Amino acid sequence: MGCAISQDAGTSTQSKGKPTASVQPQQTKPVSQPLPEEESDDEPEQVEFNEGLLKKWMELEKDIQLLESKGVGRRYGVKAEEIHQLQMEIKTCDDKFRQLEAQTRKEYQDVVDLGKNTSVKQMMSQMQYDEQMAKEKQEYMDALNKQEVANKELSAKKKRLEQLLLEQEAGQGDIDDLKALVNEQDKLLKSIFNNKYGSDAEYKLESELDMLTERQQRILVAKYKWHNARVLLHHATNQLAFSVKRWGDVARIPPGNMNNLYQASAETRNNLIAASQNITSAQRYLNTIKFPYCTPQEMQTLNTAIANIFSDMRDANRHQHAMACFATTHRRAAALVQWFDQVINGTIMTDINTANKAVDAKKRELRAERIKLIKEKIKISQGTDVTTEYNAQIGSSDFQDDPDAELARLVEADAVSMAGDLSQSLPESKEDGAAAPTPLPAGELAPPPTSDDLFGNIEELKKQHEEELVQLEKAQKVNKARADQDLQDKLARRRNRRRKIQQQESEANALMSQ
pLDDT, tens only, 92-109:
889 989 999 999 999 999
Is the model's pLDDT at 3 over the cut of 80? no
Average pLDDT over residues 491-510: 54
At residue 288, the pLDDT reads 87
Residue 426, domain member (yes or no) = no
At residue 279, the pLDDT reads 95
Average pLDDT over residues 141-167: 86
Sorted by sequence, the CB contacts under 8 Å of residue 356 that are 6+ apart come out as 216, 395, 396, 397
Least confident window among 107-111, 127-131, 409-413, 484-488:
484-488
Average model confidence (pLDDT) across the chain: 77
Confidence of residue 169 (pLDDT cuts 50, 70, 90): confident
Residue of higher predicted confidence among 145 and 245: 245
At residue 135, the pLDDT reads 87
Q: Is the dihedral of CA 192, 195, 201, 204 positive or negative?
A: positive
C-beta atoms surrounding 262 within 10 Å: 20
At residue 17, the pLDDT reads 35
Is the model's pLDDT at 22 over the cut of 60? no
At residue 276, the pLDDT reads 94
At residue 415, the pLDDT reads 57
Residue 272, domain member (yes or no) = yes
- Closest listed residue to residue 419, CA positions, set 270, 277, 308, 289: 270
C-beta atoms surrounding 465 within 10 Å: 17
At residue 373, the pLDDT reads 92
Residue of higher predicted confidence among 171 and 42: 171
At residue 18, the pLDDT reads 33
Residue 361, domain member (yes or no) = yes
Residue 323, domain member (yes or no) = yes
Confidence of residue 386 (pLDDT cuts 50, 70, 90): confident
Contact between 232 and 408 under an 8 Å Cβ cutoff? The reply is: yes
Is the model's pLDDT at 36 over the cut of 90? no
What's the CA dihedral at 24, 29, 31, 32 to 10 degrees?
Answer: -170
Percent of the chain with pLDDT over 70: 72
At residue 387, the pLDDT reads 77
Residue of higher predicted confidence among 431 and 269: 269
Backbone angles phi, psi at 46, to 5 degrees: -80, 140
Helices (H) and strands (E) in the chain, counts: 15, 0
Residue 473, domain member (yes or no) = yes
Average pLDDT over residues 61-71: 83
What length does the chain have?
Answer: 514
Is the model's pLDDT at 33 over the cut of 80? no
Percent of the chain with pLDDT over 90: 27
pTM, to two decimals:
0.67
At residue 78, the pLDDT reads 74
The three-state secondary structure class of 194 is coil
Confidence of residue 164 (pLDDT cuts 50, 70, 90): confident
Residue 423, domain member (yes or no) = no
At residue 496, the pLDDT reads 57
Residue 153 Cα distances to 159, 276, 310, 372, angstroms: 10, 9, 18, 59
Residue of higher predicted confidence among 176 and 233: 233
At residue 19, the pLDDT reads 32
Question: At CA 480, angle to CA 365 and CA 212, rounded to 5?
Answer: 30
At residue 25, the pLDDT reads 35
Is the model's pLDDT at 69 over the cut of 80? no
Residue 39, domain member (yes or no) = no
Least confident window among 296-310, 456-470, 478-492:
478-492
For 309-368, the pLDDT digits (tens) are 988 998 899 999 999 999 999 999 999 999 999 999 989 999 989 998 999 899 899 999
Average pLDDT over residues 498-511: 53
Is the model's pLDDT at 30 over the cut of 50? no
Domain count, the chain: 1
At residue 35, the pLDDT reads 32
| Containing structural domain, residue 83 | 51-390+442-513
Distance between CA 137 and CA 107 in Å, rounded? 8
What's the CA dihedral at 186, 191, 197, 202 to 10 degrees?
Answer: -70
Sorted by sequence, the CB contacts under 8 Å of residue 159 that are 6+ apart come out as 23, 409
Which ranges of 383-495 does DSSP label H, i.e. alpha helix? 420-424, 451-455, 458-478, 480-489
Is the model's pLDDT at 159 over the cut of 90? no
Distance between CA 454 and CA 457 in Å, rounded? 9
Residue 165, domain member (yes or no) = yes
